[in-house]
Amino acid sequence: MVETILNRTQMLGRATLDGFARLGRASLFLLEVLSNLGGMLKRPGLLIKQLFSVGVQTLIIIVVAGLFVGMVMALQSYYALVDFGAENSVSVMVVLSLLRELGPVITALLFAGRAGSALTAEIGLMKTTEQLSGMEMMAVNPIERIVAPRFLAGVIAMPLLAAIFSAVGVMGGYLVAVELLGLDAGAFWSQAQENVELIDDLGNGMIKSLVFGVVVSWIAVFEGYDCIPTSEGLGQATTRTVVYGSLAILVLDFVLTALMFGK
Amino acid sequence: MNTRTLELMVGLFVAAGIAALFMLAMSASNLSSYGGDEGYTVKARFDNIGGLKTRSPVSAGGVRIGRVTEIGYDMAGYEAWVTMSIDPQYDAFPIDTSASILTSGLLGEQYVGLEPGAEDEYLASGSVITLTQSALVLEQIIGQFLYSKGDE
């Protein structure tokens, strides 16, 4: 009995220590990636290639999701607002929720699923097939050559994707509100312009998506680089990227919202 | 995929992102009416500011000419201080301009309405508007109405 309790307690202690050790490794890894970002100046081609696979190839899902999220937002807020005769505020509702929350958050969630998992799988497979050690053997720094361009591409792509998501979402909202529900086009834009602040809403939304970009890219490249080099470990690492990435986004979103809009 | 197409696609992606930001800034936010902070500031004292908030509009004749930048409470006079920033092109309000806190529509947001006076001197940065009218608080009006009804 006592032995079981001791064993359980030891397991708990080990799990905690492992968790902290991983967090420490991840932080040191981030520092190393950041200190190797300068290498990109010598080889901008690497970054462009990653921007293509991380940014351009995520574009389709972002545009489609943004369009439909904007359209649904317009429909639902119309339903709620028409009772108060405030249906012209549909645009405020759509634009504000897209810029402040939905744009950055849904973009980051989709990004974690679409691009983050791909980054982890790619780097993890390189590790599993010992390509990374091969590079080290040839005196090529794999962090500078492989990890840093992918990390930076994620950080750059995220705010751009979030901006595209919000813009397409606003147009989707416009389509539903003006073409389908018959609201006035002029009122749609003037209400939005009246109530949306450039710095407070658009600027803070962009800061959010930049933070999400850093966190998701960090988790993705770290999970790939730190994965257990077996096919099973690779699968687990990819799952962890999506799970940890999504959770980190949602928790950070609350923290950032409380800091930015919680006055 | 050759380098040219790849770079072209990335270029298009970045351009689309910047264009989206620009579109959001121009058509969906208040950039077009963004005057910056170079306006001059004017203060006014009110007994009660109702639901006025910082960044509430300041308007004259229904046209937005500035916004409220700061709200404070003066313990010496037991009054509320409202500091507002007025856009620089509207620099010729007489010093006896009066300020009142009004509500747009029945349940709309509150704003400061300026009513120009007749003096030759103009308000400048740091001036204080002395003629003010407080916000109408619905509960007080209903209370007065019921009181006067009770007297009849």
Which residue in B6, B12, B21 is closest to A49 by CB distance? B6
d(CA A49, CA A195): 40
Pairing assessment for the beta strands B110-115 and B57-60 based on DSSP bridges? parallel
User: Quick one: average pLDDT of A84-113?
Assistant: 90
Nearest chain B Cα distance for residue A195, angstroms: 7
Residue B147 belongs to a domain: no
- HEC secondary structure over A117-181: HHHHHHHHHHHHCCHHHHHHHCCCCHHHHHHHHHHHHHHHHHHHHHHHHHHHHHHHHHHHHHHHC
Q: Are residues B29 and B96 in the same domain?
A: no
Closest residue by Cα to residue A111 from A169, A48, A60: A60
Instruction: Answer yes or no: are the C-beta atoms of A36 and A148 closer than 8 Å.
Output: yes
Q: Are residues B120 and B108 in the same domain?
A: yes
**What pLDDT shows up at residue A197?**
81
Residue B151 belongs to a domain: no
Residue B24 belongs to a domain: yes
User: Quick one: average pLDDT of A245-256?
Assistant: 94
| Number of other residues whose CB lies within 10 A of the CB of residue A150 | 27
Which residue in B7, B12, B24 is closest to A202 by CB distance? B24
Q: Are residues B100 and B70 in the same domain?
A: yes
B3 contacts in A (CB within 8 Å)?
45
| φ, ψ at B118 (rounded to 5°) | -130, 0
Residue B111 belongs to a domain: yes
DSSP-assigned beta bridge partners for residue B46: B80
Q: Are residues B26 and B56 in the same domain?
A: no
User: Quick one: average pLDDT of A17-35?
Assistant: 92
User: Quick one: average pLDDT of A210-222?
Assistant: 95
Closest residue by Cα to residue A103 from B15, B27, B21, B9: B21
Residue B105 belongs to a domain: yes
- Residue A239: partners with Cβ closer than 8 Å, 6 or more residues away: none
Q: Are residues B3 and B63 in the same domain?
A: no
**What pLDDT shows up at residue B32?**
53
Q: Are residues B54 and B88 in the same domain?
A: yes
Tell whether B24 is within 8 A of chain A (Cβ).
yes
Residue B52 belongs to a domain: yes
Count of CB pairs separated by less than 8 Å, A with B = 86
Instruction: Answer yes or no: are the C-beta atoms of A114 and A158 closer than 8 Å.
Output: no
Residue B148 belongs to a domain: no
H/E element holding A21? helix A2-35
Give the residue numbers spanning the domain of B4: 1-34
pLDDT digits (tens, 9 = 90+) for A51-98: 999 999 999 999 999 999 999 999 999 988 888 878 788 888 899 999
**What pLDDT shows up at residue B144?**
87
B31 contacts in A (CB within 8 Å)?
198
**What pLDDT shows up at residue B37?**
58
Burial A164-201 (b: 16+ CB within 10 A, else e): bbbbbbbbbbbebbbeeeebeeebbbebbbbbbbbebb
**What pLDDT shows up at residue A263?**
61
Q: What is the mean pLDDT of chain A?
A: 91
Domain total of chain B: 2
**CB–CB of A55 and B13 under 8 A?**
yes
Residue B150 belongs to a domain: no
Q: Are residues B114 and B131 in the same domain?
A: yes
**Stretch 120-159 of chain A: residues touching chain B, C-beta under 8 Å:** 157, 159
The per-residue pLDDT string of chain B (152 residues; one tens digit each, 9 = 90 and over) reads: 688 888 888 889 989 999 998 888 887 776 655 545 578 888 998 888 888 877 788 888 888 888 888 899 988 888 899 998 888 888 888 888 889 888 876 666 788 899 888 888 888 888 888 888 888 777 888 888 888 888 77
What percent of chain A is predicted at pLDDT more than 90? 70
Give the number of C-alpha atoms closer than 13 A to the C-alpha of residue A64, restricted to the C-beta side: 5
